[in-house]
Amino acid sequence: MWINVIQTPDNIKIVSHHPTIETALVCQRFGHLDHVGVDFNVKVGTNVYAVLDGVVSQAVDNVRVYGRYMTITHSDGYMSLYAHLSAFKVKKGAVVKSGDIIALSGGDPGDNIDGDGWSTAAHLHWEVRVPDHLDNNLYNIDPIKYLAAFYTKDTLPNWIKIYLNEE
């Protein structure tokens, strides 16, 4: 299932978030085969943006599943996670603004850049986790539903409507 993700600069001005990827196809949705994030089909080296203001809480170079990945903790306690990166553009502890370039995407095991983790092709794996007030753990939610909450019915981008309708 492929959805064309296009965000215009006009969209950015009217909401407080920035799309984490500017233009991409959603190549795997949340919940499919227990997938805990959403995958964007982008070539290695594509700019990855902070979706909201926050602090870089983790910047880990190369672990088994995620490869090189980064997390940003936002003021509402939510956390966003960006995986299979080819490079970091900010360090752990950095204070970032929505729309700052935080990393470059990766994930192609065929290139000579490490940090792919279990990725089998170039893409960005993006997660959003919310705190549970009962046990203080973080739980994954559908990142696209999270994005949808920044819009009104009238301003909701068409690709999000399509994504939500295909459930």
Binding-site ranges for Zn ion (CB under 5 A): 37, 39, 125
Cβ-based nearer residue to Zn ion, 125 or 129: 125
The residue (of 12 and 121) whose beta carbon lies closer to Zn ion is 121
Nearest position to Zn ion, beta carbon: 125
State the nearest-atom distance from the C-beta of 33 to Zn ion, in Å. Answer: 10
In the complex with Zn ion, which residue's Cβ is closer, 96 or 124? 124
Tell the smallest beta-carbon distance from residue 93 to Zn ion (Å). 26
Of 83, 74, 59, 85, the closest CA to residue 150 belongs to 74
Report how far residue 97's alpha carbon sits from residue 128's, in angstroms, rounded to the nearest whole number.
17
For residue 30, the minimal CB distance to Zn ion (Å) is 9
Shortest spacing between CB 111 and Zn ion, in angstroms: 18
- Closer by beta carbon to Zn ion, 37 or else 54: 37
Q: Which residues have CB under 8 Å from 2's CB, separation 6+?
A: 25, 26, 27, 41
3-state SS assignment for residue 68: strand
Q: DSSP of 27-42, one letter per residue? A: EE-TTGGG--SEEEE-
Query: What letter represents residue 31's amino acid?
Result: G
111 near 6, Cβ under 8 Å? no
